[in-house]
Structure 1
Amino acid sequence: MANQAVDIITKVLEQSAKLVEEQVDAQLSKLNEMDEDDFDRLKEKRLEALKKAQKQKQEFLSKGHGEYREIPSEKDFFGEVKESKKVVCHFYRNSTFRCKIIDKHLAILAKKYVETKFIKLNAEKAPFLTERLHIKVLPTLALLIDGKTKDYVVGFSDLGNTDEFPTEMLEWRLGCAEIINYSGNLMEPPTLTQKPGTKFTKVEKKSIRGRGYDSDSDSGDD
């Protein structure tokens, strides 16, 4: 019975190898049949695609993409969101140290994913938005596509519940929300390794203009 299973697996592998070989041969055959004019047309199409990609990148940069920026007020939020298809907005507070951790990672991702706009807004200056978007925990990332909020990253609960999470973890999480053109495997989040002795900071509660806000996600106590 075991030998029969091995034989079946061997045949499947041989068939798969043969199929791949046939596909490679077909591609090589096409290349061999191409004349100089075909190669010129191929180069021209490639050059045209590169020019189009460069033009689109310049359009993104002209709209404030490519860098992590702070916007001064909630009035500016609507204009920023309106002119860009994909937006990540970090609602923060200066006194919340975990917001500074998020800042560090978003500054890196903003340069890598130019197709998405990365901005931050002081929650204390945005009472209307925080009410409308039901933001009660800081930091919170609002992920918007075509002007509509598609998803939220609230605190660090989706990032391994640790202050030591790598940029790749947030990158993966944003990829899951399709807010960036993520090329990694969405089914496998980055491996999170926690240093020995790492402790979580105790959660505190403060208020913003009379409203109660959790300063961080409830990730544990010292």
Structure 2
Amino acid sequence: MADRVFEGRMVGAAQVLEKAVDEELERLENLHQDDLAAIRKNRIDSLKKMAAQKQDWISAGHGEYTEVATEKEFFDVTKKSKNVICHFYKDSTFRCEILDKHLKILAPKHLEARFVKLNVEKAPFLTERLKIRVIPTLGIVKDSVTKDFIIGFTELGNRDDFSTEMLEWRLARADVIDYAGDLLTPPDSKPKTSKLSVMLGQDRKKTIRGGGRGSDSDSD
């Protein structure tokens, strides 16, 4: 009895789906030339707007990861660009170099945001105002207002060898870049390798040597 009920539901669902497909095909077949021309024009207009927006972003410095030399320059950047990602760094901090590597990859990929870096030793007022205590810190600025911070690597898996995708995911969580992936699942959250698989196929020396560096973040 239960099987017949289930079978009946499946047939009903299939019929509903088939009807919806038929209705959509009929709608497309009945489109007039004027309708098609309007759709084409809207699409072209949309593409033109996107191209103009990209050109505006590029003119404002988007697409590159650059350094702002002064606090005034930082504020100018946040006024010109809606979305700004600023790396507050020190030359002496090793982990800043790691972050630089990932930001250089993301900047040309996400034209919708401006990627910059600022030496905290040249920006004492801003550093104090934003209460930046740990280096590196990423400041997320939207519409000239600081909305979020990524402090150190804690939210990036708490490891030096986090992926660029992990940083991209975290920035998307801050709503500062466009992202097509799953915002609920971090890219680096993969199942841990079992001891058995290590014994069967992994190089034990790589496993031993794979530990992270000692702490290298600076704290004021």
2:130 matches 1:133: yes
2:108 matches 1:145: no
Percent sequence identity over aligned pairs: 46
User: Against the structure 1 CA distance between its residues 97 and 46, is the aligned structure 2 distance closer, same or farther, given a 3 Å change threshold?
Assistant: same
Equivalent residues of 2:94, 2:216 under 8 A apart: no
Q: 1:111 aligns with which of 108, 111, 115?
A: 108
Tell me the equivalent position of 1:25.
22
CA distance in 2, matches of 1:127, 1:8: 72
2:196 matches 1:199: no
Alpha-carbon distance, 1:75 to partner: 1.5
Equivalent residues of 1:166, 1:192 under 8 A apart: no
CA deviation digits over 1:22-78, x for unaligned, max 9? 333332221111122222221111111000100011111111111111111112110
CA distance in 1, matches of 2:54, 2:93: 34
Is there any run of 5+ residues in structure 1 with no aligned partner, and where? 207-211, 214-222
Cα RMSD, aligned residues only? 2.2
Tell me the equivalent position of 2:171.
174
CA deviation digits over 1:63-111, x for unaligned, max 9? 1111111111112110000111110000011111111111111111111
Tell me how many residue pairs correspond in the alignment. 205
TM-score calculated relative to the size of structure 1: 0.84
CA distance in 2, matches of 1:155, 1:126: 19
3-state SS of 2:146 partner: strand
- Which letter maps to 2:50? A
3-state SS of 1:41 partner: helix
Tell me the equivalent position of 2:160.
163
Tell me the equivalent position of 1:80.
77
User: Against the structure 1 CA distance between its residues 168 and 17, is the aligned structure 2 distance closer, same or farther, given a 3 Å change threshold?
Assistant: farther
User: Against the structure 1 CA distance between its residues 10 and 164, is the aligned structure 2 distance closer, same or farther, given a 3 Å change threshold?
Assistant: farther
CA distance in 1, matches of 2:213, 2:38: 60
Q: 1:99 aligns with which of 96, 100, 106?
A: 96
Is there any run of 5+ residues in structure 2 with no aligned partner, and where? 193-205
- Which letter maps to 1:196? T
User: Against the structure 1 CA distance between its residues 157 and 12, is the aligned structure 2 distance closer, same or farther, given a 3 Å change threshold?
Assistant: farther
Equivalent residues of 2:173, 2:183 under 8 A apart: yes
Alpha-carbon distance, 1:172 to partner: 0.5
Higher helix share: 2
User: Against the structure 1 CA distance between its residues 187 and 21, is the aligned structure 2 distance closer, same or farther, given a 3 Å change threshold?
Assistant: farther
Alpha-carbon distance, 1:8 to partner: 6.5
Q: 1:65 aligns with which of 62, 75, 80?
A: 62
Equivalent residues of 2:68, 2:118 under 8 A apart: yes
CA distance in 1, matches of 2:54, 2:43: 17
User: Against the structure 1 CA distance between its residues 188 and 204, is the aligned structure 2 distance closer, same or farther, given a 3 Å change threshold?
Assistant: closer
User: Against the structure 1 CA distance between its residues 21 and 108, is the aligned structure 2 distance closer, same or farther, given a 3 Å change threshold?
Assistant: farther
User: Against the structure 1 CA distance between its residues 163 and 34, is the aligned structure 2 distance closer, same or farther, given a 3 Å change threshold?
Assistant: same
CA distance in 2, matches of 1:187, 1:77: 32
Alpha-carbon distance, 1:11 to partner: 5.8
Alpha-carbon distance, 1:173 to partner: 0.4
